[in-house]
Amino acid sequence: MNMMNYNIEVTILKGRCIMPNKKQKESHDTSGFKSHLKRASTEMLVLHTLRYNPMYTYEIMSTLESLSGGYLAFNTLYIAIHRLNELQFIEEKERVISDDNRVRVYYSITDSGREYLSNLIDEYKRFSEVLDAIVIDTWEEVKGA
């Protein structure tokens, strides 16, 4: 496959361009790209984490960080939690007051949330397969040339 035949497109997410700024370009920093990928997969990760046990928000964040070996660290999940709750993909299971007088709201996944998670995972798999077919196969060609 000839690389010269590709048109380069700028991808826009919520009006923000996924292009490196000058500092990132000079250092080959991909943190902006990682941030967009993380944001795009947050709801799937939250639902996936809740599929077995109700958890409170900080517990979800800690679980994801632990499962990813520290690669995925979230400062907050409240926007995603709020949206998933509004869409009834998760529900408030109970409120517990901790020893330090903090209210912990435990969330659980709903049946419609499980269905949505299944659809997200199917779409993620398909998208990843297509991306791999384009990027990895082409990359192997370029490296071999």
The beta strands (E) that lie in the chain are given as 12-13, 16-17, 55-56, 90-97, 103-109
Spatial distance between the Cα atoms of 144 and 138, rounded to a whole number of angstroms: 10
Task: Look at residue 34 in the predicted model and tell me its pLDDT.
Answer: 86
Q: Is the Cβ–Cβ distance between 83 and 131 less than 8 Å?
A: no
Instruction: Look at residue 20 and tell me whether its pLDDT is greater than 60.
Output: no
pLDDT band at 6 (very low <50, low <70, confident <90, very high): very low
- pLDDT tens column, 85-104: 999 999 999 999 989 999 99
Closest residue by Cα to residue 91 from 46, 119, 54:
54
Q: Which two tokens stand for residue 111?
A: 């049946």
User: Residue 99 in 3-state DSSP?
Assistant: coil
Phi, psi of 89 (to 5 degrees): -90, -20
- pLDDT tens column, 37-94: 888 899 999 999 999 999 999 999 999 999 999 999 988 899 999 999 999 999 999 9
Q: Which two tokens stand for residue 79?
A: 């926007």
Alpha helices, DSSP H, located in 51-110: 57-67, 78-86
Q: Which domains does the chain have, with CATH numbers?
A: 40-144 (1.10.10.10)
